[in-house]
Amino acid sequence: MTLLDLDNLELTTIEDAARIVGKSVDNIRDYIQRGRISKYNLEGTRIAVAKNGELRISLSELRAFLQLMSRGDEKHYSPGLNIELGFYDLSETERTKHVHRLHPYLGKFIPQLVEWFLIRYFAEDSLILDPFMGSGTTLIQGNELGIHTIGIDVSEFNCLISRVKSTKYDLPLVTREVLEIEQRVSTFSKYLNKSTQVNLSLFPEERMDELKSSLLKECNSDYLRQWFAPNALLEMLYYKRLIPLYQNQELLQVLLSRAVRSSRLIPHYDLATPKVPLPVGVKYWCKKHNRNCIPIDNCISKIHQYSKDTIRRITQFDGLRKEKTMQVIQGDSRTIDLTYYLSLPPLNGRLLDGIFTSPPYVGQIDYHDQHTYAYELFGFTREDSLEIGPKKKGKSRSAQQSYSEGIIEVLKNTMKFLKPAGLVFIVANDKYDLYPHIAEESGLIIKERFQRAVTKRTEQGDSPYQETIFMMEKVT
Ligand SMILES: C[S@@+](CC[C@H](N)C(=O)[O-])C[C@H]1O[C@@H](n2cnc3c(N)ncnc32)[C@H](O)[C@@H]1O
């Protein structure tokens, strides 16, 4: 049982609470019975059974529960939850603002969550590390707040996304390049489809056949041949071939990967976790659109859709970014030596003020697998075996143990560079209660736990679960 802050709880009797919130005493008893609000004793300790006349409930907890019930978000509620951290009112557009949607990423945290903590616990000019950087949310949000950031990730593609999000661009040049390559692939696609919009005699069929076979020769991936319709495959291979002609190659790679991801032969409702490719041109029942759909058979429509969107997003972030360092490091956070990176200007050997991170959850996601299409298309090197807590290894006792050992190694390795009494924030879904042990072994004291409901996850269903944000301090 934890002793809580009595002022914040606003302890009261059931009768008073019912009168204050305009509900009946029976209503309140029902919420208690269903475990939706807690029972407390007079000292503010959560209890299972109250002595006669000593039962108290928390008005603030009750109000929070009623507020969510009135919005229909009640299923996400449980006692002790920090309602503010649920970000219930945020639209999808805000949760994927500017560069955060340059490429989808399963398992990223919402920018507003990072912002909430960084604003409260770190001053401008601080230096923060995210040793499980993923798609770089900490870097971008830290930068918006004038904080220096370093991120480490073991996956090459995640590092590419993060670099592309954090790069400072020559906007007129990027605009020219993105629109020009789009135009060239669009023309290619018209010839491919024998469109009447182009003069077919300018590009005779034999030349087209030659081009197609040379593109296909460059593709030795069975995955790409299975998961894409023939024309979609040719369009993406042609785009890829043109990339070396431009300066902003990494941005074009990410733009193409995003289009490729959406052009797989998969049901519209299953973009994040597709199981098997669908046959080309065959109808399936689409849960997302509530009608029969057919899988997409081209890539150019997504290239069109994402080209202008990409320019708009990097332009938006360009107006917000600060002149602070954002370093992206590819490597294993258990072993990487940060000495060199911290020696670079403008850091010049300073220590970290804090760590803000969201490690993988035990056995939940394979971080390389979710971007297989990009690894196959660009031939990036995979480091699956270095992932901590991958889905492939499951959630067994031994998987949990090796997960804990991995996280402890990361914390010990990176905390060598953390200031004395520096703060470490870890966003975790700690259903196996591993973090108290992890903290102790790593030389950290848990100062506070913030509970938040995770709702409206992009492409991850809507079943409620909760996360804990552990605020820890380095033992000095
Ligand atoms: C939950 S995700 C982080 C998501 C990130 N917060 C975001 O908003 O995009 C965890 C990340 O840890 C990375 N990871 C797993 N094992 C690692 C290791 N040994 N060293 C560095 N990164 C690792 C995965 O590749 C994955 O990108």
Tens-digit pLDDT profile for residues 302-314: 999 999 999 999 9
Distance separating alpha carbons of residues 327 and 148, to the nearest angstrom = 9
Report the atom number in ligand 1 closest to the C-alpha of 357: 6
Burial class (CB in 10 A: 0-12, 13-18, 19+), 355: buried
For residue 278, tell me if it sits in a domain.
no
- Predicted local distance difference test score (pLDDT) of residue 199: 86
Q: Could you tell me the maximum CA-CA distance found in the chain, to the nearest angstrom? A: 93
Same domain? For 325 and 399 the reply is yes
Residue with token string 């560079």? 417
- Predicted local distance difference test score (pLDDT) of residue 173: 98
For residue 203, tell me if it sits in a domain.
yes
Number of separate domains in the chain:
3
Which CATH number belongs to the domain containing residue 365 in this structure? 3.40.50.150
End residue of a domain, out of 315, 347, 379: 315
Contact by Cβ (8 Å): 256, 279: no
Q: Interior CA angle at 262 toward 87 and 391, to 5°?
A: 65
Same domain? For 222 and 102 the reply is no
Residue with token string 């100062």? 447
For residue 438, tell me if it sits in a domain.
yes
Burial class (CB in 10 A: 0-12, 13-18, 19+), 291: exposed
End residue of a domain, out of 41, 71, 101: 71
Distance from residue 103's CA to the centre of ligand 1 (Å): 16
In this structure, how many other beta carbons lie within 10 angstroms of the beta carbon of residue 267?
A: 18
Same domain? For 311 and 337 the reply is no
Same domain? For 305 and 375 the reply is no
Amino acid at the residue 154: V
Q: At residue 461, does pLDDT exceed 60? A: no
Distance separating alpha carbons of residues 392 and 408, to the nearest angstrom = 21
Distance from residue 283's CA to the centre of ligand 1 (Å): 37
Contact by Cβ (8 Å): 156, 381: yes
pLDDT digits (tens, 9 = 90+) for 339-375: 999 999 999 999 999 999 999 999 999 999 999 999 9
- Predicted local distance difference test score (pLDDT) of residue 1: 34
Distance from residue 299's CA to the centre of ligand 1 (Å): 29
End residue of a domain, out of 18, 41, 71: 71
**Which residue has better confidence, 144 or 72?**
144
Closest to 321 measured CA to CA, from 150, 143, 148: 143
Distance from residue 22's CA to the centre of ligand 1 (Å): 47
Query: Which residue blocks in 167-294 are alpha helix, DSSP H?
Result: 171-192, 205-217, 222-227, 230-242, 249-262
Residue with token string 């035990």? 362
Closest to 286 measured CA to CA, from 276, 274, 294, 278: 294
Same domain? For 371 and 415 the reply is yes
Q: What share of the chain is helix, strand, coil (3-state, %, to 5)?
A: 45, 15, 40
Same domain? For 336 and 304 the reply is no
Q: At residue 2, does pLDDT exceed 60? A: no
Distance separating alpha carbons of residues 401 and 165, to the nearest angstrom = 34
Rounded to the nearest 5°, which phi and psi values hold at 399?
-65, -40
Report the atom number in ligand 1 closest to the C-alpha of 336: 20
For residue 55, tell me if it sits in a domain.
yes
Half-sphere exposure of 321 (CA within 13 A, CB side): 20
Burial class (CB in 10 A: 0-12, 13-18, 19+), 234: buried
For residue 283, tell me if it sits in a domain.
no
Rg of the chain over Cα atoms, rounded to whole angstroms, equals 26
Q: Which helix (H) or strand (E) holds 430?
A: none
**For residue 31, what are the domain limits?**
6-71
Distance from residue 426's CA to the centre of ligand 1 (Å): 12
Same domain? For 60 and 129 the reply is no
Per-residue HEC secondary structure of 53-100 comes to CCCEEEHHHHHHHHHHHHHCCHHHCCCCCCHHHHCCCCCHHHHCCHHH
Q: At residue 99, does pLDDT exceed 60? A: yes
Burial class (CB in 10 A: 0-12, 13-18, 19+), 328: buried
Same domain? For 97 and 131 the reply is yes
pLDDT digits (tens, 9 = 90+) for 397-409: 999 999 999 999 9
Burial class (CB in 10 A: 0-12, 13-18, 19+), 471: buried
Contact by Cβ (8 Å): 78, 34: no
Same domain? For 329 and 428 the reply is yes
Report the atom number in ligand 1 closest to the C-alpha of 130: 6
Q: At residue 9, does pLDDT exceed 60? A: yes
Q: Is the dihedral of CA 115, 119, 121, 124 positive or negative?
A: positive
Q: Please list every protein residue whose CB sits less than 6 Å from any atom of ligand 1.
A: 105, 107-109, 132, 134-135, 137, 152-155, 158, 332-334, 358-360, 367, 386-388
- Predicted local distance difference test score (pLDDT) of residue 74: 73
For residue 467, tell me if it sits in a domain.
yes
pTM of the model: 0.88
Most confident of 26-30, 82-86, 166-170: 166-170
Supply the residue whose CA is at minimum distance from atom 13 of ligand 1: 132
Q: At residue 462, does pLDDT exceed 70? A: no
Contacts of 259 (CB under 8 A, 6+ apart): 236, 239, 299, 302, 303, 305, 306
Distance from residue 249's CA to the centre of ligand 1 (Å): 24
- Predicted local distance difference test score (pLDDT) of residue 281: 84
Question: What b-and-e string marks burial along 295-307, b requiring 16 or more CB atoms within 10 Å of the CB?
Answer: bbebbbbbbeebb
Same domain? For 310 and 328 the reply is no
- Predicted local distance difference test score (pLDDT) of residue 373: 97
For residue 277, tell me if it sits in a domain.
no
Same domain? For 397 and 309 the reply is no
Same domain? For 178 and 125 the reply is no
For residue 110, tell me if it sits in a domain.
yes
Contact by Cβ (8 Å): 231, 298: yes
Q: At residue 216, does pLDDT exceed 70? A: yes
